[in-house]
Each structure stands twice: as C-alpha cells, then as structure tokens.
C-alpha cells in the first residue's frame, strides 16, 4: 500500500480489501491481551477459593475436598466477633450514608441549578479524591482529639468514619438514577392533583427505588471491605473481619483464613451481582 | 403591567417558591455535607496543624510549634552538635513510591488498553458481561485479592510450582517481598480503574472513522495510533490518573507483598501513627503525599482546560 | 362535564392577559412569551400553532402551572389561577412523551387523578372503566404501560387526563411520536372525543395541516407572540401577517406601496407600476407606505384570451401533479409567482420561456403586516 495510486489502480487489491473488511476493527494480539487480563484478575482468587476447600493443612498441595476449614472458621470466636463487628458497622454506615446521599442527590437534581453546585459535588466526592491513608490518619487525629476532649469512647467513631466514606458511593447511583428520570413524570402527577408530598411518595420514591438499592449495596460492600481507615481508627474490641484477616496473614498463612476470605469474597460478589441485575432492570 | 393588583399574588407565589426551594435544598444537603465536612475535611485541617507540632512521647502531639517534621523529611539532626545532615531515607521512599506507581500505571495501560479496545469492539450484548467481569474484582476486598496474589507468587506458590514441576526452573523464583512483587500487586489491584475509563471513551468512537482510516490507506498500526488513540485520549488520561493516585498511596500491597521491608509512602505514614509514633511527621508526610496528588490533578485540569479552550 | 343544556353563548374558559415569561436573568434572559393575550372559549378545540421555540409549549406549561409567569394573568372561568400550583388547577395535560407512570398498571394510571382528588373507590373504578371503554382499551386494564404500543400509550395518556373531567385539557404535541397513518386516525379520534366530552381542548402543534384539520380556532405564534387568532379558514384565506401566510400553505408574496385607502380597501402599486386593490389584514397593515401583498396560488387565474391580465411574466417551470399544475413564473419586477391551475394545462402554450398573463382577483389579495 506504499503507493496509493497503484493500490487504487490495481484490480488485485479489491479482493484483499474485502478480506480486511471482515475484521476491520480487530487489532492483532488485543484479544490475547484481554484474556490475559481476565486470567490475571481471576486466577489468584480462584486459587484462594480452591485451597479453602483443601482437606490438607497445606496450602500448596491439593489432597482432597473438605469443608473442615469453614467449620473451623465458623467456630473461631475471634472470627465470629470480627464478623459481627463488620456487619454492625456496615449496616450502620449503609443506613446513614444512603439516607443522606439520597437527600443530597434530590437536592442536586430536583432543584434548579444554584451557585456553589460545583463546590457541593466537590465536597460530596471528596472522600474519593484523596488517598485513603491520608483520610485515615486525618480522621484518627480528629478522633484522638475528640476523645481527649470529651472522654467518650466506643465503636461510634468507627461507624461514623465508615458512614462518611460511604456517602459518595451511595450518592453516585442515586444521582445517576435521578438524572435519567425525567421531571415529566413528577409533573404529570402534580397535574393529576397530587400535592408535593404525594408526588414524592407515590412517584419519585418508587421510581428512585432501584437507585437507592444500588447505592445501599455499594455502601455496604465498600464498608465491609475497608481496611486502611478501620486499621487506624478501630479501638480494642472493634476488629472487623478484614482487620482480623490482615492480622492472621501477618501471623502466617492458614487454610482457615482462605475459608473466611472466600466467604467475604462471596458476600461481595453476590451483592454486586444482585446490583448488576437491579441495574439491568433499571435500564429497561 | 406588573403594577396590576392580580400580579401581587403571583409575585408572592414566585417569592414563596423561591424561598421554599432554597430552604428545601439547604436541609436536603445539610446532613451529607455536615458529615463529610466534619469527618473528612475538618481532619485535614487538624493534620495541617499537627504537622507543625512536636511529637508526644506515647503517640499524639505536644502543643509546641515546630517545623521539624518537614526538616526531618530531608535532613537528620545530629544528636551531638545539633547540625543538619542530609538524609535521603525518606526522600528515597517517596521517589520509590512514585517510580512504582508510574511503573504500575504503564503496566496497567499495556494490559488495559487492548482489553478495553477488545470489549468496545464486541457486540453490544456481550459488552455488559465483559464489563461486569472487569468490575467485579474491584468490588471484592482488596486485602483478600492481594493475599490471593501472595499465595500464587510466593516460593511455594502455584507459579513456582508449575515452573519447577515442568523443569523450567530448578529453584523457585524469589518474587515475593521484592519490588517486582509490589509492582505486580499494584497492577493487579488497580487494573479495573484503567480499563473502565478507556472503554468509556472507546465506546463513543464511531468506528466508521476506523474504516475511513483504512480507506485513506492507513495500515493497522497507523489507524491505531493516528485515529483510535487520539480519540481515546480522555479515557487514557483518566485511567492513568485513576491508577497512579491510589498506587502512589497504596498501603496493603507493599504491606503484604513487600513484606514490610519494601516500604511505600502509605506504609511509612501509617507507621508514624503506630510503632514509631511520630504523629507530626506522619501528618507532614501525608500532606506531602496529598500535595503530589493535587499537583497531578491540577496539571491534568490545566491540560484539559487548555485543550478545551483550544478546541473551542 | 357540561350537562345536557345547549351552550348558546360561548364564554371564555381560559383568559390570558399580558402574559410574559422570561427564562434566565440579566444578559442571558430569554423572553419565551411576550405580553400574550388570548381568550380560549368553552368547549372549543383551540390550537397553538408555530415553529419550535415560538413559545407555544411555554404557554401551555404556564396554563398547566408547571411554570409561573413572570408577569400577567391566567384566569380559568374568570378566576385568577396564575399563582396556583398545578395540583390545584382543574386542568389536565397529555404530555408529548405521554409520561405514563411505569410502576403502575394502565388502570392505576387512569385512576391516579381521581385517587388524588380523594374520590371513593367505587367511583374511581367506574370512571376508570368508562375511560377504558372510551379509548377502547378495556382488555389492557391490568397491563404495565411498557407492554403497550405507542398508539395505546397515547390513548392511556388521554384517558388518564380525561378521567378527572378537567375544565380544560392541554395536549402538548401528543401525536408527534406516532407514525403518519396512526397520526391521521388519532386526529379524527381526538376531534370526536372532544365533541363527545365537551371539554375545552388546548392543542399544541407545529404541524399546520394537523392544526387546520382539527381546530375550531388556531392561534399562530412566533417569537413569543400570538400573530393571528382565527378559524382555520380565517388563517388560511385571510392571513394578517407575512409569517402566518408563509407558515401555512403556499402563498405568493409581492412587494409594493400602499398609495391610498378607500373604505378599507387599499390601492397598492407594485414594483413594476401595476396598481392592484387589496384587503388589509390588520390596522397596522392598512397604513400608507411600503407593504406586502399576498395571494394563494390557487386564487391566481390564468388570463383568458381577450382578458386584461393583472400581471404578466415568463414561465420558468411547469410542475404537474395530478390534481393540479403549478406554473412558476418570473414577473417583470423580478419576483417569482406560482399559479396553481386545476388539472393539466395545454402543453404547447405554457412551456418554459412563454409569456403569460395572470388575473389576481382583488377580493382574494391580502395586505400583510
């Protein structure tokens, strides 16, 4: 194809062109790279899951299928306590962050544009924009100060910290949903004699439902998976499951840890799959 | 016209609506903003203050002004004659972190761009499934994913096992607790952040442009670099930033895969609030990290701003 | 519903006075409506016609209450409703996008207004059934709205807006999303529905043919103002403004000067010196000075042998389309004119290049504003 003129003139170039048309968009090697990406993303997790079912204490050699490590993990008081703390914190953070995120999303989509809207977006998304380790030590400093001033202790600090960083995650899908919902439906309800409160409860809220569910699920997953902020802030007796796992890994690899990790991964995967289906339904 | 009697009711209604809207907006925004301001933004202010204080004996701070934290970053104070001696220990941790984060960004780009392109050229129905597969790891626990990576790259891990069983190696590749391990871990952790924005900009490309490229005698490589890459640039930049920033502040990856020996900024900061207990220095290091992040974001904002103006 | 008595005198259902709506503020302010005045009579099918951006939808939204006016008054049966929120106005809307509630069934959609008005369940059920019958969707009562075709959704939207028996029904380009055939059917259906219910319809469209077919009266709008209000015949035969004449149907417009007025008839001298008599559409149009005159192509007649033509010109194009033939001629003034002759014309006589004469009957010539 060095010389365009000959390429056009040559009758032979026609069939060659046609062969190229078939996979014009494909780039050589890209398919292989995509598969490498998928394998790289999933292989480690697959190995972890597989060895959590290994009968042998060894995490190297496969000797047979067993659920022993799950039983051991579930009997372990440390793990049970940590799981309970995780669930408590995640539920609290989910409820608080979803409620305030829903309110904020309504304010930023259901009222006219206002000065300072960019600033509001900036503040809401702030926890996403700075490195987590910075948020973690900053929050720790604040809480240390508050504890010293008030003498108050407890798991409330951890819960509030989780609620704060969950807000942007809950906010995103709710705002996205509100933005795709045209105002016309709400206007139609008002036109049909629904006063503002009824418009909200009978039209806005039911239609917003899938967005709120998505937001809540994201918030829950994010809280459940947090390590860095929790690691720095959690006091004694406030060990969450990821913190317990981190400690256990530092002490040495055991199949029990593989089992707990698998459970935690399964919970996240289930929630995210559920979310995926909710969003698919939302699009229809 | 506006002086008519009946427009008085209208003016009142307009004013009432405006006031009610402002009030509604205020109360709807207040809780979210209050929580984030109090728990996420106010603490940053405290961090700034702490960075100028003196460390307490058992952690925490003593309320005594000092710039030592920033001095300590580059110099070491001689215990005997109080002179400052240049000390590259912390600076090298920062430079190492920047290098590792940059490397991870490039690595993620090399894997991520072809993947995003591959997904974008799939039929519409298949794309959702692929995107789901890319997104799913992002929502699973980073600690557990890193731990899973540790399991396969360690000396007795599946990679070494396969390599040794097949006779390619006689002794295991010692990857774990090296920079290579951290590098691999960072790519693995943040790869989805690279694929998704690139996909988002590739998806918008009208592929008849690619056909036009071929029609105008470009070959595959030329089409790739002169048509597709320029069009995907916003996604490439966004992906680069989304990988670089969390990689720079990574904590878990170097902690597990670097074995606590190969430190990055994140671990160094966390250590100041734990074992070695120098809160002011940790605060200062955190602020320097944040300054790096802000510089990256600002450069990007300026560049995109100039580009937008150039196009406009 | 209006009951059995015959309406002898048509009162104003909606009166609009000095209605102005400005969006934005300061230098970015856009005036969507500029001191609009209109009386929409009871039981009439009233159409707001104009190109997009002329303010017709804004006027509709102001009547519905989705926006509040910047200035002016909207009265419903003599009562000022300008400041009332939409849920307190006995006016319902059929939206362009239908705006059916996706989380409710067809029947729930139709009953929504009555439910909000606090009507007893039995009444809601009865009315819903009656409405379903009215739009022939009895079988669809339990369906979700996304399972309906475009035409069916349109009917549900109509039934939903009619169910609370509003004083006025507002329709915002409700047929725009339907295909041509369905649109033609729905036009007739809407018209008969309006006659049947006796509700005042205010219909918004940019389609002049739709407006002419359906309306009792039409208001032609441009740039936030109403230019002309009248029956379809008024609008078509006696346009007052150049814009109205141009927007509806085909028309020939010639420039000239009003030399004198006699008993409301203007004597206009065209650019080539020909004097014609014409009917001024408005008081503004009936002022001596520069003026435009207009005549429909079908009102221009070819001069017979021996007849004195009003104007003459050279044939440029002959376009035959079955029921009529259009002769495009270039006048001595340089202006173009189209003559629509019923049926075919003698081919030899009217081929391009030939000089022909045309007669413009004075009673069919309008002076435009």
Instruction: Judge whether B297 is closer than 8 Å to chain A, CB to CB.
Output: yes
* Interchain CB distance below 8 Å, A131 and B246: yes
Q: Which region holds residue C35: left if phi is over 0, alpha if psi is between -120 and 50, else beta?
A: left
Give pLDDT, residue B112.
94
Q: Give the domain range for residue A106.
A: 76-283
- Tokens in use for B205? 């490309």
Q: How far is CA A112 from CA A118, A191, A213, in A?
A: 13, 20, 25
Q: Which of A124, A89, A106, A88 is nearest to A212 (CA)?
A: A106
Scanning C9-68 for CB atoms below 8 A from A yields 64-66
Could you tell me if residue A174 is inside a domain?
yes
| Under 8 Å between Cβ of A4 and B217 | yes
The CA distance from C135 to C159, in Å, is 7
State yes or no: pLDDT of C170 exceeds 90. yes
Q: What percent of chain C stands above pLDDT 90?
A: 48
Give pLDDT, residue A9.
41
Calculate mean pLDDT across residues C205-213.
91
Calculate mean pLDDT across residues C220-237.
93
Give pLDDT, residue A102.
96
Calculate mean pLDDT across residues B154-177.
81
Closest-CA distance, C97 to chain A, in angstroms, reads 8
Give pLDDT, residue B83.
80
Could you tell me if residue A19 is inside a domain?
no
Give pLDDT, residue B99.
95
Give pLDDT, residue C3.
39
Partner-chain residue, chosen from C18, C73, C83, that has the shortest CB–CB distance to B13 = C83
Chain A partners (3+ C-beta pairs within 8 A): B, C
Give pLDDT, residue A273.
87
Grouping H, G, I as helix, E, B as strand and the rest as coil, residue C92 is strand
Give pLDDT, residue B115.
94
The CA distance from B122 to A58, in Å, is 42
The CA distance from C310 to C273, in Å, is 11
The CA distance from A230 to A242, in Å, is 9
Confidence of residue C348 (pLDDT cuts 50, 70, 90): confident
State yes or no: pLDDT of C291 exceeds 70. yes
The CA distance from A182 to A129, in Å, is 30
Instruction: List CB contacts (< 8 A) between B117 and chain A.
Output: 27, 30
The ipTM is: 0.87
For chain C, the structural domain boundaries read: 12-237, 250-368
Calculate mean pLDDT across residues B12-31.
91
Instruction: Judge whether B290 is closer than 8 Å to chain A, CB to CB.
Output: yes
Could you tell me if residue A15 is inside a domain?
no
Confidence of residue B309 (pLDDT cuts 50, 70, 90): low
Partner-chain residue, chosen from C88, C100, C103, that has the shortest CB–CB distance to A206 = C103
Calculate mean pLDDT across residues A123-150.
90
Residue A91: Cβ within 10 Å count: 14
The CA distance from B98 to B290, in Å, is 13
Give pLDDT, residue B7.
67
* Interchain CB distance below 8 Å, C87 and A194: yes
Give pLDDT, residue C320.
86
Could you tell me if residue A88 is inside a domain?
yes
Between B45 and C307, name the one with better pLDDT: B45
Instruction: Give the CATH H-level superfamily of domain C250-368.
Output: Nucleic acid-binding proteins (2.40.50.140)
Q: Which of B301, B128, B245, B101 is nearest to B182 (CA)?
A: B101
State yes or no: pLDDT of A189 exceeds 90. yes
Give pLDDT, residue C263.
80
Give pLDDT, residue B2.
39
* Pairing label, strands C324-331, C336-342: antiparallel
Interface test with A, best of B143, B159, B172 (most A CBs within 10 A): B143
Worst-scoring range by mean pLDDT, A67-71, A132-136, B253-257? A67-71
Give pLDDT, residue B6.
54
Give pLDDT, residue A1.
38
State yes or no: pLDDT of B116 exceeds 70. yes
State yes or no: pLDDT of B124 exceeds 90. no
The CA distance from B9 to C68, in Å, is 11
Instruction: List CB contacts (< 8 A) between A197 and chain C.
Output: none
Tell me the domains of chain B and their CATH numbers: 89-277 (1.10.3720.10)
Instruction: Judge whether A195 is closer than 8 Å to chain C, CB to CB.
Output: yes
Calculate mean pLDDT across residues A183-193.
94
Give pLDDT, residue C231.
94
What average pLDDT is seen over chain C?
Answer: 88
Calculate mean pLDDT across residues B144-157.
89
Give pLDDT, residue B312.
44
Give pLDDT, residue A24.
65
Partner-chain residue, chosen from A30, A107, A126, that has the shortest CB–CB distance to B117 = A30
Q: Which of B67, B99, B143, B61 is nearest to B292 (CA)?
A: B99
Between B145 and C341, name the one with better pLDDT: B145
* Interchain CB distance below 8 Å, C164 and A193: yes
DSSP letters of A231-263? HHH--TT---HHHHHHHHHHH---HHHHHHHHH
Give pLDDT, residue B310.
62
The CA distance from C135 to C129, in Å, is 10
Instruction: Judge whether B3 is closer than 8 Å to chain C, CB to CB.
Output: no
Instruction: Judge whether A283 is closer than 8 Å to chain C, CB to CB.
Output: no
What is C12-237's CATH number? 3.40.50.300
Could you tell me if residue A98 is inside a domain?
yes
Give pLDDT, residue A244.
94
Instruction: Judge whether B249 is closer than 8 Å to chain A, CB to CB.
Output: yes
Could you tell me if residue A136 is inside a domain?
yes
* Interchain CB distance below 8 Å, A187 and C86: yes
| Under 8 Å between Cβ of A96 and A215 | no
Calculate mean pLDDT across residues C43-65.
93
The CA distance from B211 to A21, in Å, is 8
Nearest CA in chain B to C85: B13
Confidence of residue B237 (pLDDT cuts 50, 70, 90): very high
Give pLDDT, residue A23.
61
Give pLDDT, residue A35.
92
Give pLDDT, residue A158.
95
Calculate mean pLDDT across residues C227-235.
93
Give pLDDT, residue A45.
92
Instruction: Judge whether B14 is closer than 8 Å to chain C, CB to CB.
Output: yes
Give pLDDT, residue B191.
93
Confidence of residue C78 (pLDDT cuts 50, 70, 90): confident
Give pLDDT, residue C282.
74
Give pLDDT, residue C116.
95
CATH number for the domain spanning A260: value is 1.10.3720.10
Number of domains in chain A: 1
Instruction: Judge whether A128 is closer than 8 Å to chain B, CB to CB.
Output: no
Calculate mean pLDDT across residues B279-297.
93
What average pLDDT is seen over chain A?
Answer: 86
Query: How far from chain centre, in Å, is Cα B42?
Result: 22
Scanning A88-117 for CB atoms below 8 A from B yields 96, 99-101, 103-104, 106-108, 111-112, 114
Calculate mean pLDDT across residues B69-76.
85
- The pLDDT tens digits of the residues spanning A226-253 come to 999 999 999 888 999 999 999 999 888 7
Q: How far is CA A181 from CA A202, B250, C17, in A?
A: 14, 38, 34
* H or E element at residue C13: strand C12-23
Worst-scoring range by mean pLDDT, A177-181, B215-219, C122-126, C146-150? B215-219
Instruction: Name residues whose C-beta falls within 8 Å of residue B312's C-beta, 6 or more positions apart in sequence.
Output: none
Partner-chain residue, chosen from B1, B4, B10, that has the shortest CB–CB distance to C83 = B10
Calculate mean pLDDT across residues A6-18.
43
State yes or no: pLDDT of C356 exceeds 90. no
Calculate mean pLDDT across residues B95-100.
94
Nearest CA in chain A to C92: A191
Calculate mean pLDDT across residues B161-190.
86
State yes or no: pLDDT of C197 exceeds 70. yes
State yes or no: pLDDT of C41 exceeds 60. yes
Residue with tokens 């015949």: C233
Query: How far from chain centre, in Å, is Cα A7?
Result: 53
* Interchain CB distance below 8 Å, C86 and A190: yes
Give pLDDT, residue C7.
41
HSE-CB for C113 with a 13 A CA cutoff:
29
Chain C partners (3+ C-beta pairs within 8 A): A, B
Give pLDDT, residue A100.
97
């Amino acid at each position: 194809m060095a010389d365009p003129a000959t390429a056009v003139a040559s009758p032979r170039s026609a069939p060659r062109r046609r062969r190229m048309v078939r996979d014009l968009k494909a780039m050589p090697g890209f398919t292989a790279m995509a598969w490498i990406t998928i394998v790289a993303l999933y292989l480690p997790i697959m190995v972890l899951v597989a060895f959590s079912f290994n009968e042998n204490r060894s995490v190297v050699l496969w000797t047979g299928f067993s659920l022993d490590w799950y039983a051991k993990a579930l009997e372990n008081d440390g793990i049970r306590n940590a799981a309970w703390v995780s669930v408590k914190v995640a539920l609290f953070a989910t409820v608080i962050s979803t409620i305030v995120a829903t309110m904020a999303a309504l304010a930023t989509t259901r009222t006219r544009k206002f000065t300072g809207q960019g600033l509001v977006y900036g503040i809401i998304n702030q926890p996403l924009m700075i490195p987590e380790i910075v948020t973690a030590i900053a929050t720790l400093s604040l809480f240390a100060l508050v504890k010293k001033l008030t003498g108050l202790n407890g798991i409330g600090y951890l819960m509030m910290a989780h609620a704060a960083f969950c807000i942007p995650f809950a906010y995103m899908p709710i705002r996205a949903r509100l933005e795709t919902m045209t105002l016309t439906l709400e206007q139609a309800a008002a036109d049909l004699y629904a006063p503002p409160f009824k418009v909200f409860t009978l039209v806005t809220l039911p239609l917003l439902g899938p967005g709120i569910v998505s937001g809540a699920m994201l918030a829950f997953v994010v809280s459940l998976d947090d390590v860095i902020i929790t690691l720095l802030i959690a006091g004694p007796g406030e060990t969450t499951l990821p913190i317990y796992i981190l400690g256990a890994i530092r002490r040495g690899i055991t199949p029990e840890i593989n089992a707990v990790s698998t459970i935690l991964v399964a919970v996240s995967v289930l929630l995210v799959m559920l979310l995926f289906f909710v969003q698919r339904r939302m699009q229809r | 016209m506006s002086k008519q009697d009946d427009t008085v009711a209208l003016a009142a209604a307009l004013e009432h609506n405006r006031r009610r809207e402002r009030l509604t907006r205020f109360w709807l925004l207040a809780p979210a903003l209050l929580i984030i301001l109090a728990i996420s933004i106010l603490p940053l202010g405290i961090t700034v203050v702490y960075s100028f204080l003196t460390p307490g004996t058992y952690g925490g701070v003593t309320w005594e002004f000092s710039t030592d934290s920033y001095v300590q970053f580059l110099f070491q104070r001689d215990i005997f004659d109080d002179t400052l001696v240049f000390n590259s220990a912390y600076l090298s941790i920062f430079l190492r972190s920047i290098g590792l984060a940059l490397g991870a960004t490039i690595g993620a780009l090399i894997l991520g761009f072809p993947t995003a392109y591959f997904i974008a050229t799939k039929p519409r129905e298949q794309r959702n499934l692929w995107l789901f597969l890319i997104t799913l790891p992002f929502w699973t626990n980073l600690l557990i994913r890193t731990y899973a990576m540790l399991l396969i790259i360690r000396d007795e891990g599946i990679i070494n096992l396969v390599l040794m069983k097949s006779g390619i190696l006689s002794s295991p590749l010692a990857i774990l607790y090296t920079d290579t391990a951290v590098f691999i871990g960072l790519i693995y952790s943040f790869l989805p952040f690279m694929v998704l924005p690139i996909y988002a900009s590739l998806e918008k490309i009208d592929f008849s442009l690619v056909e036009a490229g071929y029609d105008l005698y470009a070959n595959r490589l030329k089409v790739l670099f002169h048509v597709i890459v320029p069009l995907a640039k916003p996604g490439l930049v966004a992906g680069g930033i989304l990988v670089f920033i969390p990689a720079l502040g990574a904590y878990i990856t170097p902690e597990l895969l670097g074995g606590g020996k190969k430190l990055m900024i994140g671990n160094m900061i966390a250590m100041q609030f734990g074992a070695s207990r120098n809160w002011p220095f940790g605060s200062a290091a955190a602020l320097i990290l944040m300054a790096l992040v802000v510089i990256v974001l600002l450069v990007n904002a300026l560049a995109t701003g100039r580009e937008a103006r150039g196009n406009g | 519903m209006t009951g059995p008595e015959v309406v002898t005198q048509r009162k104003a259902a909606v009166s609009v006075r000095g209605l102005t709506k400005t969006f934005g503020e300061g230098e970015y302010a856009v005036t969507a409506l500029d001191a609009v005045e209109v009386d929409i009579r009871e039981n009439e099918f009233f159409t707001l016609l104009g190109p997009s951006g002329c303010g017709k939808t804004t006027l509709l939204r102001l009547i519905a209450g989705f926006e509040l006016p910047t200035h002016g008054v909207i009265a419903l049966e003599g009562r000022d409703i300008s400041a009332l929120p939409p849920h307190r106005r006995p006016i319902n809307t059929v939206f362009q996008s239908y705006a059916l509630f996706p989380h409710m069934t067809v029947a729930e959609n139709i009953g929504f207004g009555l439910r909000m008005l606090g009507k007893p369940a039995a009444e809601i059920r009865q009315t819903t059934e009656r409405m379903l019958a009215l739009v022939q969707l009895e079988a669809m009562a339990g369906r979700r709205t996304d399972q309906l075709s475009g035409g069916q959704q349109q009917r549900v939207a109509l039934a939903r807006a009619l169910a609370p028996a509003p004083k006025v029904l507002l329709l915002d380009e409700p047929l725009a999303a339907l295909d041509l055939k369905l649109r033609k059917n729905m036009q007739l259906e809407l018209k008969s529905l309006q006659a049947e219910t006796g509700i005042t319809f205010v219909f918004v469209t940019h389609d002049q043919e739709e407006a002419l077919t359906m309306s009792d009266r039409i208001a032609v709008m441009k740039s936030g103002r109403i230019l002309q209000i009248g029956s379809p015949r008024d609008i078509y035969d006696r346009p007052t403004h150049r814009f109205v004449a141009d927007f509806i149907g085909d028309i020939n417009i010639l420039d000239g000067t009003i030399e004198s007025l006699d008993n409301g008839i203007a004597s206009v001298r065209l650019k080539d010196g020909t004097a014609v008599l014409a009917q001024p559409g408005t008081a503004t149009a009936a002022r001596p000075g520069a003026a435009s005159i207009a005549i429909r192509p079908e009102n221009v007649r070819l001069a017979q042998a021996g007849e004195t033509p009003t104007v003459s010109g050279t044939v440029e194009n002959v376009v035959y389309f079955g029921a009529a033939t259009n002769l495009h001629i270039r006048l001595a003034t340089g202006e173009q004119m189209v003559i629509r002759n019923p049926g075919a014309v003698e081919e030899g006589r009217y081929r391009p290049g030939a000089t022909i004469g045309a007669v413009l009957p004075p009673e069919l010539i309008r002076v435009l504003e």
